[in-house]
Chain A
Amino acid sequence: MTSLHKRQVKAVLTWIATFILMIVMCVPGLWVVLSGFRPNREILAKPPVWIPEDLTLDNFAAIFGLSDAQVAIPVIDYFANSMIIAVTSTAIALLVGMSGGYAFARFRFGGKNALFLGLMLSRAVPGIALSLPVFIIWSHLGLIDAPMGLIIVYVALNVPFTIWLIDGFFRQIPKELSEAAQVDGCTRWQAFWKIEFPLARSGIASAGVFAFLTSWNEYALASQLTRSTDSKTLPVGLMDFTAQFTIDWAGMCAMAVIIIIPALILTFLVQKHLIAGLTFGGVKG
C-alpha cells in the first residue's frame, strides 16, 4: 500500500516538474509570437492587459508596407536576401559536404584524423573574431554588402558540421551494398547515386536543414559584412528596430514571428533524423 502511494506521489511530482519545465521553455517564445499579433498600445498598456482583447494582422501589414501605418524597415528585401543567401549557401555546403563526408566514411587515407579535427576546429573560430580579417579582405574584393560575400562565408561555416553529419549517415550504410553493385558492373560513381545516395537521402536532408538554419540565424558576421537592403538579412534587420529612438515592440515581435516560422517548420520536419545524425555520427564513428 505504501509503495503504491509512494509511486503515485512520484508520478505526480514528475508531471509537475515536466509542466514547469514546459512553461519555462515555451512561454517566452509564445509570448513574443502572441505580441506580434497585438497592437502596440496593448503591449505598452499599464496596468498590463493579460488576455489579448484585440488580435490583428496590422503589425505584419505594417512591416510589409501594406497598410497606412508605414514602417521604414524594408522587411521584404531582408526576407528575400535571407532566403537567397541561406538557400544558396546550403545547396553549395551540401554538395561540398557530401563529397567530403563520403571521403571520410568510405576511404582510409593519410592524415584523415588530423584533417577531420582541422575542419572541426575551423568552425570553432568565433564569428566576430573571424569577421575582422574577412571584413578587410572582402572590402578589397568588393564582397562587402553583396549576397555573394555572405554566401561564401556561410558555406565555410557549414561545411565542417555538414561533413560530420553526412559522414555519420554514410557509415550507417553497409559497404557491401555498393561493392555488390560494383561487382555487377556499376562504376563507383553510379553505385553512389543509385545505392548510397538514396539510402542516405533523409540524413542528407537533415544536414541541409541544419545548414539552412545556421545561415538563416547567423548574426555576428552578417552584421559586419552587410550595409544596405542589397544584402542585409533578417537577423541584422531586426536590429533596425532598436536603432530607432523608441522601440517598436509590436513590429519587432511581428518580424520575430517571420524569422521563427521557417525555423520551426523545418525543425519539426527533420527532428528525428537530426537526433539520429548527431548521435550516430558522433558515437559509433
Chain B
Amino acid sequence: MRWRAEKHTPYLLLSPAILTILFVVAVPLVFSLYTSLTPYRLTKPDSINQFIGLRNYERLLDDTKFWWAFGRTILFLTIALNLEFLLGLGIALLINRITWGQRTLRTIMMFPMMFSPILVGFQFKFIFNDNIGILNNALQSLGLTDGAIPWLVERDLAMFSIIFAEVWMSTSVFAILLLAGLFAMPKDPLEAAKVDGCTPWQVFRHITLPFIMPFAYIAMTIRSLDVARAYDIVDVMTGGGPAGRTELLWTLIARVGYDNAKMGQANAMAYVSTILSILFTWYFFTKLVAARRYMGGAA
C-alpha cells in the first residue's frame, strides 16, 4: 500500500504546476492554432467560426513584410547572442584576473540583468535621443560631430541602437554564469599544463573553455527562454520604425493582431515565432543536459 502511495506522490506534487501550465499556456496554444486556421478579426467576432484551413499560412509565404521581419529577427538574434557570449566571456576572464574588489564588481554586473526590458528600452531612448540625449550631447561637446546624429531615426543606426540596448541588458547573464564557472574550476590542471609548457592560448582552448562550456549552455538556455523580451525594447525605442526598418517578428505580431485586429493572421505568425523559440530553447537545453551528464561523470 505504502509503495503505491509513494508512486503517485510526485504526480500529485506536480499537479498544481501542470494544471497552471495547461490552463495558461497549453490550452491557449491549442486555441491559437485553431484561430490561425480562421479569418478571425476582433471587429467581427463571428469570423472565428469560419474555417479556412491553411490560408493564413499560405498568405504568410507571400508576405514580404513578414519575411523581412523574420530575417531581421534571425539577424538580430545572431548578432546579439554572439556579441553577448563573446563580451560575457571577455568580461568573465577580466574579472577573474582581478583580485581586489571582485565581489563588488560582480554585484554591479548583476544590475543590468534585473532591469525591466521596458526600462532598458526607455533608458536608451533617452540616451540615444538626437536632441537631448547624453550621447549626442557628449559627442557635440567633445567636438566629434557638428550636427545631431539621428540614432533612432536613421534605419541602420536604429538597428544598431536596438542591438546595443539588447546587448547591454543581457551580456551580464553570460558574464556572471561564465564567471561562476571560472570560480568553480579546479586549479591543478591549469598549473600542470603550465608546467608542461602549454601556451596561455592552449590552456584556455583545451582546459578553461571546455570546463566553462556547461555554464555557457546554462546562460544560453536562460536567454533562449526569454529572447522575445526584445519586443519590449523595440516597442519603446522605435515602435518598429523608422518605416518598419526595426520591425521584428514580435512587433509585427502585435501590430497585425491588436492594431489591425487581424487575430487569425497574427496567430499564424505567432505560431511561427513560438515554434522558433521552442526549437531554440530545446537545442540549448539538450546541450545543457549532455554537458551536465559529462560533468556528472567527471565529478
Interface, chain A (partner B; CB < 8 A): 14-15, 17-18, 21-22, 24-26, 28-29, 31-32, 35, 43-44, 46-48, 50, 95-97, 99-100, 102-104, 107, 109, 112-113, 115, 117-130, 132-134, 136-137, 152-153, 155-157, 159-161, 163, 213, 216-217, 219-220, 223-224, 235, 238-239, 242, 249, 252-253, 256, 259-260, 263-264, 266-268, 271, 274-275, 278-279, 282-285
Contact = CB atoms under 8 A, between A and B. Distances in A.
A109 B9 CA distance: 9
Interface residues of chain A: helix, strand, loop or mixed (majority): helix
B24 A279 contact: no
B177 A122 contact: no
Max chain A Cβ within 10 angstroms of own Cβ: one of B26, B107, B126, B215? B126
A166 B229 CA distance: 24
Given A120-B285, A267-B111, A133 B35 contact: yes
A217 B114 CA distance: 9
Interface in B95-119: 95, 97-98, 105-119
Given A99-B16, A119-B21, A134-B24, A260 B119 contact: yes
A263 B231 contact: no
Contact of B134 (A31, A268, A283): A31
Contact of A133 (B31, B113, B292): B31
A133 B254 CA distance: 12
B149 interface: no
Interface in B1-41: 6-7, 9-11, 13-14, 16-18, 20-21, 23-29, 31-32, 35
Nearest to B214: A283
Contacts of B132: 43-44, 46, 48, 249
Given A14-B98, A26-B108, A235 B119 contact: yes
The 10 closest A-B pairs by CB, nearest first: A126-B228, A217-B116, A156-B24, A129-B270, A133-B28, A133-B32, A103-B13, A107-B10, A124-B281, A100-B17
B170 interface: no
23 contacts: A17-B94, A21-B91, A24-B168, A25-B168, A29-B115, A32-B123, A32-B126, A50-B141, A96-B16, A99-B13, A99-B14, A107-B13, A119-B17, A121-B281, A126-B231, A134-B24, A160-B225, A242-B236, A256-B122, A263-B116, A266-B114, A282-B214, A282-B292
A124 B224 contact: yes
Contact of B250 (A129, A153, A252): A129
B282 A213 contact: no
Contacts, number: 276
Interface residues of B, number: 98
Contacts of A275: 106, 176-177, 180
A267 B299 CA distance: 31
A130 B117 contact: no
A28 B281 CA distance: 30
B137 interface: yes
Interface string B169-205: 0001000110011001000000000000000000000
